[in-house]
Homo-oligomer: A and B are copies of this chain.
């Protein structure tokens, strides 16, 4: 930041000269960067334009700057070459690159959580954004909105969730937030119970467990069996809060059967407990009708429902929601009244209109179909190339499969071997709360990012990597 002192004995233009020169020498002003125009700087510093000009002139004279009439002063290369014609870049090309990551080249990526670019409805999003920006509704985004999120979006969500997931709630109970982690943060901040304990599935999504752990919670791992979370272990624990993924357990893919859901709700009712239902990938079911959510069969307000737009739109969107039972609303008001919603209003309104116009459901169907195709192809390829060497978990839903290696191969080795064939697969270790519970003989194949056509080749490479 340039600072001048008009009272100083040193002339103003020299003060400017020295500061800019120093910034160039220490690298704050990099080569090619356009510096503030004489007029703008003069106004900012409340001095005459020519004062700035003489400072700049001196810098040009000494080779620190290059001047181009009507288009500004630009920082020169320091090891300047006199006979080289100084071409001006139309726009300053700032080298904006992330810190070096010694990346291995990857041909096929089974990264979980990422999506392929064509999964995003870019045309639609563009259209709706453009419409909003061009219309008089632009005014809507120019003020602070409702703390829980745009009302129209919450109404749309309520309707959508009611008929797609059976979720029963008022718009009032829905709070928009920037991702499922934020959703959990909100819930934790409400401090529903004195004791800081939470039961979680073992294994479970680490993005969720991190939030509880970072908030000083003791996490009680409850094993996941072939039919979901072990109720006996759960009920014998002292937890009064459980985080579960009933529709499609992460990462095993198990679906919680209806009788266990009911038992779970009964237990919650008797113990005044809270069931946190994380319905993170409810949009993706490839067989049969969706199973009604826990929330939809809860009659006692024991369920906190969490959903997200990340999985079928974009992980970068940062839009999710939490639905609180009514008895928690006063606690919410107490803790968060006066807080502004963290989701950009523009995106909320765009989203509300997409849903209202039916595009959301249409998009979901389309994207679900596309992923089902990938799912089927992947499954077929896996069966063909490694059918008798692995168990495949988590079929019929979601965006990933989990492979269990019958011969006990170790995860770290498997990942390494895959990388040697330039294929990325994901470890399961991060999802285990207690490392000892895991035999380390599984990997995850996320198929959100990879293209349909690449799958057979990728699986072939994997088979070569692991079984040759």
Choose the segment among A144-152, A383-391, A415-423 that binds chain B (4+ C-beta atoms closer than 8 Å): A144-152
Q: How far is the CA of A389 from the CA of B317 in the complex (A)?
A: 51
Asked if A260 CB lies within 8 Å of chain B CBs, one says yes
Asked if A8 CB lies within 8 Å of chain B CBs, one says no
Q: Is the CB of B92 within 8 A of A259?
A: no
Q: Is the CB of A92 within 8 A of B162?
A: yes
Q: Is the CB of B117 within 8 A of A138?
A: yes
Given known contacts A94-B158, A115-B143, A181-B340, A358 and B207 CB-to-CB distance under 8 angstroms: no
Q: Is the CB of A1 within 8 A of B166?
A: yes
Asked if A412 CB lies within 8 Å of chain B CBs, one says no
Contacts of A58 in B (CB 8 A): 287-289
Q: How far is the CA of A337 from the CA of B143 in the complex (A)?
A: 32
Asked if A142 CB lies within 8 Å of chain B CBs, one says yes
Q: Is the CB of A159 within 8 A of B28?
A: yes
Contacts of A165 in B (CB 8 A): 1
Q: Which of A145, A163, A347 has the most CB of B within 10 A?
A: A163
- Which of B28, B139, B163, B297 is the one whose CB lies under 8 Å from A163? B28
Measured CB to CB, the closest approach of chain B to A69, in angstroms, equals: 15
Q: Is the CB of B318 within 8 A of A343?
A: yes
Q: How far is the CA of A94 from the CA of B161 in the complex (A)?
A: 13
Asked if A51 CB lies within 8 Å of chain B CBs, one says no
| Total count of chain A residues near the partner, CB < 8 A | 135
Q: Is the CB of A62 within 8 A of B258?
A: yes
Given known contacts A356-B94, A356-B96, A182 and B342 CB-to-CB distance under 8 angstroms: yes
Interface residues of A in 285-302 (CB under 8 A from B): 287-293, 296-297, 299
Q: Is the CB of A91 within 8 A of B206?
A: no
Q: How far is the CA of A40 from the CA of B196 in the complex (A)?
A: 44
Asked if A408 CB lies within 8 Å of chain B CBs, one says no
Interface string of A68-110 (1 = CB under 8 A from B): 0000000011111010101011111010111100000000000
Given known contacts A80-B266, A142-B117, A92 and B289 CB-to-CB distance under 8 angstroms: no
Asked if A113 CB lies within 8 Å of chain B CBs, one says yes
Interface string of A289-331 (1 = CB under 8 A from B): 1111100110100000000000000111111000000000000
Given known contacts A207-B340, A257-B62, A289-B46, A117 and B89 CB-to-CB distance under 8 angstroms: no
Given known contacts A88-B163, A91-B162, A144 and B315 CB-to-CB distance under 8 angstroms: yes
Q: How far is the CA of A340 from the CA of B205 in the complex (A)?
A: 14
Measured CB to CB, the closest approach of chain B to A164, in angstroms, equals: 6
Asked if A255 CB lies within 8 Å of chain B CBs, one says yes
Q: How far is the CA of A340 from the CA of B113 in the complex (A)?
A: 12
Q: Is the CB of A98 within 8 A of B344?
A: no
Interface string of A422-452 (1 = CB under 8 A from B): 0000000000000000000000000001000
Q: Is the CB of A63 within 8 A of B163?
A: no
Given known contacts A122-B138, A340-B181, A14 and B80 CB-to-CB distance under 8 angstroms: no
A285 nearest in chain B by CB position: B44
- Which of B141, B293, B338 is the one whose CB lies under 8 Å from A120? B141
Q: How far is the CA of A99 from the CA of B255 in the complex (A)?
A: 38
Contacts of A297 in B (CB 8 A): 82, 84, 86
Interface string of A257-272 (1 = CB under 8 A from B): 1111111001000000
CB pairs A–B below 8 angstroms (20 shown): A1-B164, A3-B166, A17-B289, A61-B255, A61-B257, A86-B296, A88-B164, A91-B163, A99-B151, A111-B143, A114-B144, A115-B143, A126-B134, A130-B130, A142-B315, A179-B340, A179-B342, A214-B338, A316-B344, A344-B347
